[in-house]
Chains A and B, each alone.
Chain A
């Protein structure tokens, strides 16, 4: 991925650019809103990371609005210390695609960038999802692994669908809470893990190759590749 980071805090910049490079991505950096706007308009990026409070009292949201007005549809992740629900809504309304509150874990940031990048190019008309021998039919809502049909409850189906739509990418617990349960708060429990293990029971237990993997200190990933993902 080619990523633009608009952020003025040097430590945060170093932390993010280093992490992105180690994960095999390239990152450009702008320390203020004007440079950010210039880079975003002149180069092609897969995802933009936008801080909100920039030097000179500029709100990153203003830059996002300017980009959107100029018909730039690059996915944007807003990175902000403003964490109120209302601020989040403001961010998404201004044209941001995702909102991450500081302080954050790098794994969470990377997973969300992956998801945004994927969403930017996803074929909306997909009717089946496939990972190895696991097939999900989105129309008939049937799930089959190998030759065996798997019975899933509606929420399990939604959970698996989200994982499969992001196959090969790490999805964090927060992403699952937000997208599968629509919970925009921290339930302070490990319930997501319990749901995952229940899902594993149904799709992985009786098969040789497990598909749902735990990514340490980040989240989960579904993929056919038995090797550890390089995301963390």
Chain B
């Protein structure tokens, strides 16, 4: 792992240097081209200005005047590196600092850059050839080498820049590598500790919000989730062990006793029936657990559709109404038109039914259960089921949604201790939550869900929630 990081850091530095080099070349090439063009133009311009002046002298003084002028200038050494030559029709030199007309110059007037023999050395010159009246020819030129030092300076400057870049790149690469290695090493150590089984470790997060920090935070959140899941699995395993073992033990002893005592046929069949219903109970727990696992996996989200939870609530109330009436318990259903949620119809119906069933189980004779499905101004949807039963003590509230937890009040009543955890899991699947609050007296279970983004149908005319007495529900 360390070697991989090292080589990746070196590659990174080398890459930076290479990239910088390429950038410099790309930057220098047009610069050099522009510089050369400018200098060339400037040189030609100067030569042409000179040529013009000589032509003026020729116009005023003729060949003799210009010859004298040139001789004077050459004699004064004003010309310096300049090349001056006046020649007649047959290119015979009349005046100037060249011993003969150079053969390398093309025969047409114009601007040229050509090599000529200068004091025994072949030198590149920039030269302007002009035809003067009367067939005379004039050469005005300048040694190109004159600008060579500037060019050399340009190139050595560029080389220095490359050197600085190389050093900075390497140094930067080493520093980056060192910093990177230190932090990755930290992450590695934490992860190694976690892999050894201590899930409570977290990556160090610095105050600065750089990318590694963001990554660390994300990893921490991931660890949080893993820890929760692992604990969840451990809890569930314990609970399964307990809650499945109990009915299985009962079943086993029932069958074993039957096999040992061999009672009369009638009793045998009774025991077999009882055994079958024991098995059914185990299957039911199993199914509920599988359903929970299915919900936790979140795969059902792909099949979400628009669901009217108010309608599901109305149906649940209607479903439980006859059972409620048996013991003079009543429903109050608050309804305010359709309340749409994107979700799984089967699961939402199951969640709502579980809440109503739960309330009905614990509310006493003559008790009252209020069911309400509303869309709140912030777009969330709440479905609440409130009863005036004994409620749940505050200390127990967080526990009742744990899988297989059964509160003191529920001991002796049928159930598996999965109802509320199922509701909570379903709420979570829909991006919501389950909240248990005091109803003074009783329990108020409230499921909050994300409302559907689809436009909501307008609620009916009456401003407040309509109250429907128990008997009226389902008549419409």
Interface residue ranges, A against B (CB under 8 Å): 83-86, 103, 105, 153-155, 181, 183-189, 191, 194-195, 198, 217
Contacts and interface: CB of A to CB of B under 8 A. Distances in A.
A95 to B, nearest CB: 20
B176 to A, nearest CB: 49
B453 interface: no
B349 A153 contact: no
B315 interface: yes
Contacts of A84: 290, 294
Interface stretch (B108-116, B145-153, B320-328): B320-328
Nearest to B474: A153
B48 interface: no
B288 to A, nearest CB: 8
Tell me whether chain A's interface is mostly helix, strand or loop, or mixed: loop
Given A103-B279, A183-B353, 4 more contacts: A86-B300, A183-B349, A189-B323, A194-B323
5 contacts: A85-B300, A85-B346, A155-B318, A181-B319, A188-B415
Contact of B290 (A83, A155, A187, A195): A83
A187 B353 contact: yes
A153 B475 CA distance: 6
B245 interface: no
Nearest to A180: B319
Contacts of A153: 474-475
Contacts of A183: 319, 349-350, 353
B322 A194 contact: yes
A83 B287 contact: yes
A84 B320 CA distance: 26
A212 B117 CA distance: 130
Given A155-B474, A191-B323, A185 B350 contact: yes
B277 to A, nearest CB: 9
List of 5 A-B pairs having minimum Cβ-Cβ separation, nearest first: A185-B350, A194-B323, A194-B322, A198-B322, A184-B346
Interface in B265-302: 273, 276, 279-280, 283-284, 287-288, 290-291, 294, 299-300
Nearest to B344: A85
A184 B347 CA distance: 9
A103 B283 contact: yes
A154 B474 CA distance: 7
Contact of A194 (B283, B288, B326): B326
Interface centre among B273, B323, B475 (most CB of A within 10 A): B323
A188 B416 CA distance: 10
Contact of A189 (B288, B347, B350, B357): B357
B464 interface: no
Nearest to A196: B322
Contacts of A105: 276, 280
B140 to A, nearest CB: 94
Contacts of B291: 185
Contact of B284 (A85, A188, A198): A188
B230 to A, nearest CB: 24
Interface string B170-193: 000000000000000000000000
Interface in B154-173: none
A57 B279 CA distance: 29
B119 interface: no
Nearest to A187: B353
B77 to A, nearest CB: 102
Contacts of A86: 299-300, 303
B92 to A, nearest CB: 107
A186 B414 CA distance: 14
Contacts of A185: 291, 346-347, 349-350, 353
A103 B279 CA distance: 10
A102 B416 CA distance: 21
B322 A195 contact: yes
B300 A191 contact: no
Contacts of A186: 284, 287-288
A40 B349 CA distance: 38
Interface string B350-367: 100100010000000000
Contacts of A187: 319, 350, 353, 357
A217 to B, nearest CB: 7
A188 B346 CA distance: 15
Contacts of B346: 85, 184-185
Contacts of B273: 217
Interface in B387-428: 414-416, 419
Contacts of B357: 187-189
Nearest to B475: A153
B287 A191 contact: no
A217 B300 CA distance: 33
Contacts of B415: 188
Contacts of B322: 191, 194-195, 198
A138 to B, nearest CB: 20
Contacts of B276: 105, 217
Contacts of A103: 279, 283
A26 to B, nearest CB: 27
Interface string B436-476: 00000000000000000000000000000000000000110
A181 B346 CA distance: 11
Contacts of A154: 474
Contacts of A188: 284, 357, 414-416, 419
B425 to A, nearest CB: 13
